[in-house]
């Protein structure tokens, strides 16, 4: 279980997170909230890309808060960030294999003998055709590029917690359906914490839903229930929510 305990963070004088606390159990937890509500900051803090100014992140009974990102990755936590990070100089297969070495010897740049089969399995799970493994990112559609990133996140077969920041942004409906099917399979193998704007998509894929607004946790619970709450509707209909 992931525990987010009283986490606060500000960029200079701009508060991004204010005393956020919640637990993430097995399955998929969705996170929604207007732009600027702190969703990406929270995922970056869980992955260790930045340290919170207050509070703690616990995972599997261990405090991650002071660990560097590669040590957090070694504990089975993998993140796909909001903005694409893929190397244009490497093939799809090589990009995916970058997700392996972190779990097999920390900073030791040696891939295990099973790398090729792990890459093929991860690519297949993420809907990437095996004929595309030798292609370069410039030859791929945006969908294939993002799915290459997703495959890199899960390729080690050690991933227990997958952090996804708007993985379907910019996708057509058909592509979203493919991601839905991919995540439905992945969530049987690992816990997923998913930031997403498409309310239909997140409601269908999530077992639990957290709503953030202005760096605070507005609501958390069963998706259908949370999405009917007046203060959540207000946030999405544009009426300003003022925390009471
Ligand atoms: N690198 C940064 N420097 C300064 N302010 C930032 C930075 N990243 C995010 N912020 C600010 O922190 C707040 C939360 O941002 P973010 O976590 O990206 O929200 P979300 O992902 O929900 O859109 C916003 O006010 C945003 O402008
Ligand atoms: Mg964001």
At 140-186, the pLDDT tens digits run 999 999 999 999 999 987 899 999 999 999 999 999 999 999 999 99
Ligand 2 centre distance from Cα of residue 49 (Å): 14
Mean pLDDT of 126-146: 96
What's the pLDDT at 243? Answer: 47
What's the pLDDT at 240? Answer: 55
Which ligand lies nearest to the CA atom of residue 37 in the structure?
Answer: 1
Mean pLDDT of 22-46: 96
Mean pLDDT of 40-66: 96
Ligand 2 centre distance from Cα of residue 13 (Å): 19
Which ligand lies nearest to the CA atom of residue 36 in the structure?
Answer: 1
Residues near ligand 2 ion, CB 5 Å cutoff: 39-40, 82
> Ligand 1: which of 9, 17, 38 to mutate, judged by most atoms within 8 Å of the beta carbon?
38
What's the pLDDT at 235? Answer: 81
For tokens 């799915």, the residue is 147
């Amino acid at each position: 279980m992931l525990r987010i305990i009283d986490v606060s963070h500000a960029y200079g004088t701009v508060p991004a997170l204010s005393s956020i606390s919640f637990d993430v159990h097995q399955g998929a937890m969705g996170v929604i909230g207007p732009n600027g509500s702190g969703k990406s900051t929270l995922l970056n803090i869980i992955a260790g890309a930045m340290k919170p100014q207050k509070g703690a992140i616990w995972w599997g009974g261990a405090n991650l808060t002071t660990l560097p990102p590669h040590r957090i990755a070694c504990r089975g936590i993998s993140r796909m960030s909001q903005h694409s990070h893929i190397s244009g100089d490497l093939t799809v297969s090589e990009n995916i294999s970058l997700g392996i070495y972190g779990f097999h010897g920390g900073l030791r740049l040696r891939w295990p003998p099973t790398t090729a089969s792990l890459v093929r399995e991860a690519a297949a799970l993420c809907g990437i055709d095996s004929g595309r493994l030798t292609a370069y990112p410039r030859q791929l559609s945006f969908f294939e590029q993002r799915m290459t990133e997703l495959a890199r996140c899960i390729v080690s077969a050690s991933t227990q917690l997958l952090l996804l920041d708007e993985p379907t942004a910019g996708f057509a409906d058909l592509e979203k359906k493919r991601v839905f099917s991919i995540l439905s399979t992945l969530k049987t193998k690992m816990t997923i914490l998913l930031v997403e704007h498409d309310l239909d998509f997140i409601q269908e894929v999530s077992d639990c839903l957290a709503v953030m607004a202005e760096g605070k946790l507005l609501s958390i619970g069963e998706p259908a229930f949370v999405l009917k709450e007046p203060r959540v509707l207000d946030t999405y209909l544009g009426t300003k929510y003022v925390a009471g």
